[in-house]
Amino acid sequence: MGRMRTGLILSNFKNSLRVLLRPALPLLRAARTLPARYKASRIASQFQTVKDISVCYLTSNFPNRPALRTEFANGGAVKLTFLAESFPHSFPRAGLLYTVSSVDHVAKSVIVRTAHENGLKIVLNQNGVAYPAWHGLGWEALNMKMQHVYEQADFIIFQSKFCELSAHHFFGVTSIPSQIIFNPVDTTLYQPHKNHFGRKGPTLLLGGNQYEEYRFKCAVQVLQQTLIHLPDTRLIVTGKLWEDAEQNSMEVAQKYLHEYGVAEKVEFTGPYPQDYAKQIFQRADILIHTKYNDPSPNLIPEALASGLPVVYSASGGIHEMVGSEAGVGIDVEQSWDKISVPDPIQMGNAVLNVWENIVVFSDAARQRATDHFPLENFIRDHQEIFSRLIS
């Protein structure tokens, strides 16, 4: 009992200390990053401006190059693997600095400011913003950091109309030239399969990284609903789970799977390099996307190009990408203050509808990708923007 009481006292003391220190946390974090910020500032001061399309990409490990397709990259960094193939990373000689809002660096603001002062043109690829429901405490500080880059840009590429509306709502409407360019997909690499012919149930895919636990739980409930009618249904779950300690997340996940009686129907792939993604899509039939307010994920065009229709939370930028024929959206309450999870029963019914018409939906998905997201269009649009800025 004495040991338990001591542990309780220590726990209460730690919690009280966190509350007392919370107002000072931003200052403590800033102090901790001072050496890295100073080093980045010195490196950025080496920029040598040239008047041609020489692009420096601001990655999390600036001034190093972006990842290759054969290396690990996720989120906003994936598009840099495509761009760097056509416009190679150049440092210190550069005419343009290309930065993505969701690709962070401890000294991002310093690097952008230094590049701007040295005469480089700043191209910002603006993804989502921070808001209370998604980020929680401290969302204002993250937005302030993003807004600093937003206001210094010479050109802004919004990844969807939703991304543009979000930035205008939280950062303000800007007169900086801009354009909406969706994330691309290599349609020659990602190809449809015909595995669903003759099968009695679909293989569902919960793609990307599962940083929010609710996404996984909703998908499991959708699987359970689908199994009632299609007992051969399976679910593939990709990427990292929601806790830094992966084992803790897996224990929670397995407990949840057993609670719903679907443990034998679910497979986890873990993280994977980009060039392995096509193999995962080839094994699946339908993408289920349960994330709320997803701005513009690479996952969607990759799935569509692979012939996977999408059953999704009708929030964020997903409907813009999927359209009305390549999948089914489930309405959710719209808010910046709370997460709305799509109803699993409605999602399950949508999966049944798509599976009954899988050939029609699969063909529409592929057509959607080739019409709206081909990599060559993405490169062409960037070429035009870079040329205008340099000239």
Q: What is the pLDDT of residues 293-322, one digit of tens each?
A: 999 999 999 999 999 999 999 999 999 999
pLDDT band at residue 20 under the 50/70/90 scheme:
low
Instruction: Out of 128-142, 185-199, 214-228, 320-334, pick the least confident.
Output: 185-199
How many angstroms separate the CA atoms of 112 and 126, rounded? 14
Q: Quickly list H helices, the chain.
A: 2-21, 25-32, 34-44, 78-86, 108-117, 132-135, 139-152, 161-171, 213-229, 246-259, 277-283, 299-305, 318-322, 344-356, 358-372, 375-390
How many angstroms separate the CA atoms of 309 and 364, rounded? 8
How many angstroms separate the CA atoms of 310 and 300, rounded? 8
Higher-pLDDT residue of 154 and 244 is: 154
Average pLDDT along the chain: 90
Q: Are 175 and 138 in contact (CB under 8 A)?
A: no
pLDDT, position 12: 52
In terms of average pLDDT, the best of 4-8, 37-41, 257-261 is 257-261
pLDDT band at residue 25 under the 50/70/90 scheme:
very low
Q: Are 71 and 30 in contact (CB under 8 A)?
A: no
Other Cβ atoms closer than 10 A to 81: 19
How many angstroms separate the CA atoms of 230 and 286, rounded? 14
pLDDT, position 4: 44
pLDDT, position 26: 53
Asked if the bond preceding 192 is cis, omega within 30° of 0, the reply is no
pLDDT band at residue 66 under the 50/70/90 scheme:
very high
Residue 210 is given by DSSP the state -
How many angstroms separate the CA atoms of 305 and 309, rounded? 10
Give the sign of the dihedral formed by CA 260, CA 265, CA 268, CA 274: negative
What is the pTM for the complete model shown? 0.88
Q: Tell me the average pLDDT across 337-353.
A: 97
Residue 226's contacts (CB-CB under 8 Å, 6 or more residues apart) are 201, 202, 204, 233, 348, 351, 352
pLDDT, position 293: 97
Q: Tell me the average pLDDT across 316-338.
A: 96
pLDDT, position 40: 79
How many angstroms separate the CA atoms of 56 and 64, rounded? 9
